[in-house]
A and B are shown apart, each in its own frame.
Chain A
Amino acid sequence: MDALKVWRASAHLLSFASRAAASSRANVSFRVRCCSSSAASAAVDLPAPKVAPAKSDRRRRSSTSTSDRESIRAIRLKKVEELRSKGHEPYAYTWTKTHTACQLQDIYSHLVQGEECKEDLVSIAGRIVARRAFGKLAFLTLRDDSGTIQLYCEKESLEDQFEQLKTYVDIGDIVGVKGSIKKTEKGELSVYVKNFEILTKSLLPLPDKYHGLTDVDKRYRQRYVDMIANPEVADVFRIRAKIISEIRRTMESLGFIEVETPVLQGEVGGAEARPFVTYHNSLGRNLYLRIATELHLKRMLVGGLEKVFEIGRIFRNEGISTRHNPEFTTIEMYEAYSDYQSMMNMAEEIVSQCALVVHGKLDIDYQGIQISLQRPWRRETMHNLVKEATDIDFFEFGNNLEAAKKAAKEILGGRSENKDSHLVEACPSVGHVLNEIFETIIEPTLVQPTFVLDYPIEISPLAKPHRRYKELTERFELYICGREIANAFSELTDPVDQRVRFEEQIKQHNDKRASLVSNSKSPEEEKGTDDYSYEVSLDEDFVTSLEYGMPPASGMGLGIDRLIMLLTNSASIRDVIAFPVLKIQQ
């Protein structure tokens, strides 16, 4: 397990490097709300991860062959029958616990070796994860939600039940036991079993902790097996719940109200991403799965709910990778009468509160990198960051797209054998070129929390123009460990401007699609074409709602899965999603 983590960490670092050097993105991802994924993100993965499962697959097959499994199942099914014939139901209805394993460990930690508490009768239940049986004595290890405890079983006290235990209880079974408490001579706190019941008979053998579950693919496909074999896996999901609950608590304490907006929509908006399409039989029409919650939440601001948020699932029909799952969880929040400056404070507040709840401190480790979440976090404009790294001031280009492209190609050419030049060539504006440079060169270097401010207007169709620079917007993205965690802006409230921006966005999309279709030669480029082969439409109703007047406001989207990855030191998004989407098994 540890070895695996190290391996994954290094793969991760490599992928950073590869992104910096030779990003294989097929396009400039045109991000609108947080955690949009680049279209060809799957391609970012090194070939290595694909090799790994195959390797361990072979190992798995050698360790537990299918025939082993089937014979064990047959034996246990027979035990089920025998138990029933003896009047014991091997799938019990209920069990009343008095304690959890962890509680017992706490309460009786003071016992000395060999000491017994005969009067205290306790009742616990859980899964048998280890078993050693001798002539008149058996030691079992029981694990429940909270931890483990030893079961001390003696023929003398169990009488007839002892043989039954030896014959019918296997590792993996769920049992309920009653008994007193005893610390063994060896110092192991145990339940001195007076009575036991098989609550659920398991039919399949648990994987060997040290071999079975190095199979990465199986860990995700059969998460429950992963959790039985590696109890620490469940901790990630406990922390996940804690983080989301902390975010909710923070929002509610600030007077925000949680709402639910539709997943199925007549038209998609609020981001640029390929949507999932489905069909509603009785309405007789196509519906799209939401790619953002933005446009509906903003309608709530128009309606007079001044502070709203939604924590929910977003769907994007894009490749899977260590950072991308087709469905993922975000929080989006909108606050009337505030601007993007106050959203930066909000982002700091939320992330640091969550870190404190999980770690109790603001200095955390992520895959071997020390991250300091001490406030304030660095705030720097995109232009300055690019200037700092490349000595090029993009303001100087004005509207001169050719000059910007030339400069960009020079920068990238020196670094990556010109592979990105066709991406730069495809940029329709100076803002897009700047963004391309930013994503390729700056993004991976933003390890400590950094707010990147004031994005070009061309790539921010829902953000308000900057109050001082007309070519910029009041927008920021928060980066930690080279990953975008949050995206926020002073919201565009002018319906006339909004319509123009939407039209521009649609035009850009269609131009891109057209140019990709006409230029595609290689299979890889054809894939790029495919990424743009969906329709983008203008959400008329949203524009109408703006015409009724939306108060000045700011909004932010924050990727919850990525925040959880950061705070649980998980290298892959699959480690923080209980049932990630996986390729179809061959």
Chain B
Amino acid sequence: MADGTDQVTDSMSNLSTGDPSAAEAPSKNALKKELKKKKKEEENRLKEEEKKKKAAAVPQSNKPLAADDEDMDPTQYYENRLKVLALLKEAGTNPYPHKFHVSMTIDEYIEQYKVLSDGTHLKDVEVNLAGRIMNKRTSSSKLYFYDLYGGGLKVQVMADARDSDMDEVEFSKYHNSVKRGDIVGICGYPGKSKRGELSVFPKRFIVLSPCLHMMPRQKAGPGAENASNKNNEVKTTSDVWTPGMLRNPETYVLKDQETRYRQRYLDLMLNHEVRQIFKTRAKIINHIRDFLNKLDFLEVETPMMNMIAGGAAAKPFVTHHNDLNMKLFMRIAPELYLKELVVGGLDRVYEIGKQFRNEGIDLTHNPEFTTCEFYMAFADYNDLMVLTEEMISGMVKALTGGYKIKYHAKGVDNDPIEIDFTPPFRRIDMIEELEKAANLNIPKDLSSEETNKYLLNACEKFDVKCPPPQTTTRLLDKLVGHFLEETCVNPTFIINHPEIMSPLAKWHRSKPGLTERFELFINKHEVCNAYTELNDPVVQRQRFAEQLKDRQSGDDEAMALDETFCTALEYGLPPTGGWGLGIDRLTMLFTDSQNIKEVLLFPAMKPQDEPSTKG
């Protein structure tokens, strides 16, 4: 294997003479552009310098070599690199070696050698590191500096011809062919520069996977690299983003949202905070899993394709099974299947998984999203409120160390708010509070025509918009949104929803017309929805029938009857509390994300008019 990579190294350097990208005679225009750009950069840099009031240490002006081919047209750049690859292959060399043995991660390397004193070189130690080159600085033909990134962390590479196993000419040729963005492997020794920067000094330096495209620039811009070294240093140590802290994607190296979401790998590569979002997401899910496992819940998997899309009210995706010639719907909720398992005797079950809704895409909606639902036999909604408080506040504590998080509720341009997760959470009774807040006196029989008229009037009076169909359910929903949800910034339970709004929830044990249900709102958005489950099959059938009425009056989001589920209830569902949580929305809160796309690796995007441009 070592032979293989050696070969690569050799031929790479041999061929770099034929590297068209090394053409260092740019066109007149390009020269002008370059000059202009440089001037501007120089100005920017000076300004920055002043701002920081850093004493002395005037950065060396960049040598022309460093300008490299960064100002080349991207298509030209790409084609040049393709040519280099083709030449390498022609010469019988694989530019993509099969294996490079990595002896430690960059994280481990920093951990182990950060204690070195300035100027120390451990020449007898050999380490093998690998990662992506995100910065290249040419000091001379015998000395190259690189920033090597791996696992979100950076270490400096100081490639000195004297350390290399190549001769000087070879060395220079090889390193000229190395581009920003390349993935490289380094066999070398650890050390610290005199200025105290932890570095690795390569004896061998192997490109493992070349980057064929021009990488978007670091925000500091070229020329400022030497100067910004120290700043980067500070950034990577004390300014690391953790959950609950503020974030501002507008300061990212790669800002363009379309590119960030469509080419998430670029986003991850260039905006180091982004990987923390997805680590936070994984931590949130792990926290939920641990919490439920400790309570003896069993994780299960139920079908994502159903004959009937039940368990919620939403437009489903439709697909077709060819072999069985069967129409199938993508699930909109796992609720009915999970309850069937409780009927079957699994007293505590949960499922974390994707749901699918054929709805529009906006800041809080993606066609597929992740939820956790759990069902707990012999518990009711009171028990679940306590569990919810424990789970969510415990999660905030575990992620952030405290109960308060900061969040840009009104966008990054406005002051952030603070959200306090200290338990217990506020509880407000839906109808009671609505009547108080809007000074209403809603007729007791919520399913009556009279109530519908009353609420219609109320909506008009307060200028609360409710596009048709104006069913009582929808009118109430809009009023609650306007008067109550708006007040729910810190976690708040809105409880005891009317029966007509909650076809799967059990009627309230003491309040006629209402159900034992709660929704948890945080920052005015619903995060949890739970209830004492309706387990009387006769009443369940009636509720489905009422939904059908709403359907006929044009509300196509009313629930469909699931006969299999009703039959299951006839075998007896124990008293059960059921609970659902939107994992994406929770992740948004803890990562200061205003757009759901920030927390999805590959969000659904509208089709582009033109094929995606390279780079």
Contact = CB atoms under 8 A, between A and B. Distances in A.
Interface of A: 42, 73, 77, 80, 89-97, 125, 127, 143-145, 172-174, 176, 199-204, 206, 221-228, 231, 234, 237-238, 240-241, 244-245, 252, 257-264, 266, 274, 276-283, 285, 287, 289, 296, 299-300, 302-306, 312-313, 315, 317-320, 326-327, 329, 336-339, 464, 467, 474, 490, 493-496, 530, 540-541, 544-545, 547-552, 577-579, 581, 583-584
Nearest to A173: B572
B601 A278 contact: no
Contacts of B215: 548
A581 B328 CA distance: 10
B572 A200 contact: yes
Interface string B87-98: 000000011111
A143 B572 CA distance: 13
B361 A282 contact: yes
B265 A299 contact: yes
B537 A203 contact: yes
Contact of B571 (A224, A259, A281, A319): A224
Contact of B378 (A125, A237, A317): A125
Contacts of A173: 572
A169 to B, nearest CB: 12
Given A540-B611, A541-B263, A73 B570 contact: yes
Contact of B614 (A234, A282, A547, A583): A547
A127 B345 contact: yes
Contacts of B337: 578-579
Given A203-B537, A245-B299, A578-B337, A283 B98 contact: no
Contact of A263 (B132, B343, B368): B368
Given A224-B571, A551-B183, A234 B321 contact: no
B278 A257 contact: yes
A249 to B, nearest CB: 11
B383 interface: yes
A172 B570 CA distance: 10
B209 A259 contact: no
A94 B379 contact: yes
Contact of A276 (B267, B268, B319): B319
Given A237-B346, A547-B78, A93 B265 contact: no
B571 A303 contact: no
Contacts of A227: 341, 344-346
Task: Identify the 8 closest CB pairs spanning chains A and B, nearest first.
Answer: A303-B268, A227-B344, A202-B572, A224-B344, A303-B265, A549-B211, A302-B265, A94-B380
B213 to A, nearest CB: 6
Contact of B132 (A252, A304, A467, A474): A304
A221 B307 CA distance: 12
Given A327-B305, A549-B212, A224 B568 contact: yes
B481 to A, nearest CB: 21
A495 to B, nearest CB: 7
B335 interface: no
Interface stretch (B165-173, B245-253, B348-356, B452-460): B348-356
Interface string B548-585: 00000000000000001001101111110100000000
Contacts of B262: 541
Given A94-B378, A258-B282, A200 B305 contact: no
Nearest to A497: B96
Pick from A201, A225, A277, A551 the residue with the most CB of B within 10 Å: A551
21 contacts: A91-B575, A93-B506, A93-B509, A145-B346, A145-B377, A172-B572, A173-B572, A199-B378, A258-B282, A262-B604, A280-B367, A302-B269, A303-B267, A304-B152, A313-B353, A548-B213, A549-B212, A551-B130, A551-B132, A584-B324, A584-B326
Interface string B276-318: 0011011001100000010000111111110000000001011
A281 B293 contact: no
A91 B305 contact: no
Given A227-B345, A337-B102, A237 B298 contact: yes
Interface residues of B, number: 122
A173 B600 CA distance: 45
B189 to A, nearest CB: 20
B346 A222 contact: no
Contact of A228 (B304, B344, B367, B536): B344
B237 interface: no
A303 B269 contact: yes
Contact of B302 (A266, A549, A578, A581): A578
B64 interface: no
A201 B298 CA distance: 25
B482 interface: no
Contacts of B345: 127, 143-145, 224, 227-228, 231, 234
Nearest to A201: B572
B326 to A, nearest CB: 6
Given A318-B323, A544-B614, A202 B570 contact: yes
B250 to A, nearest CB: 21
Contacts of B282: 257-259
Contact of B359 (A282, A302, A326, A544): A282
A540 B302 contact: no
A318 B269 CA distance: 38
A176 B572 CA distance: 14
B123 interface: no
Contacts of A495: 212
B300 to A, nearest CB: 6
Nearest to A144: B347
B416 interface: no
Nearest to B573: A200
Contacts of A338: 99
B521 interface: no
Contact of B612 (A300, A320, A541, A581): A541
B203 interface: no
Contacts of A257: 278-279, 282
Contacts of A320: 323-324
A503 B217 CA distance: 33
B132 A127 contact: no
A261 B601 contact: yes
B560 to A, nearest CB: 17
A234 B299 CA distance: 12
Given A299-B264, A584-B324, A493 B302 contact: no
Contacts of A95: 378, 574-575
A373 to B, nearest CB: 24
B607 interface: yes
Interface string B577-603: 100000000000000000000001110
B322 interface: yes
Nearest to A172: B572
A583 B570 CA distance: 24
A312 to B, nearest CB: 8
Pick from B367, B379, B572 the residue with the most CB of A within 10 Å: B572
A306 B150 contact: yes
A496 B82 contact: yes
Contacts of A258: 282, 285
Contact of B299 (A244, A259, A312, A326): A244
Contact of B322 (A261, A304, A530, A552): A530
Nearest to A41: B323
Contact of A549 (B181, B348, B368, B607): B181
A539 to B, nearest CB: 11
Pick from B267, B377, B615 the residue with the most CB of A within 10 Å: B377
A257 B326 CA distance: 37
Nearest to B267: A303
Contact of B341 (A174, A224, A245): A224
B324 A547 contact: no
A206 B97 CA distance: 64
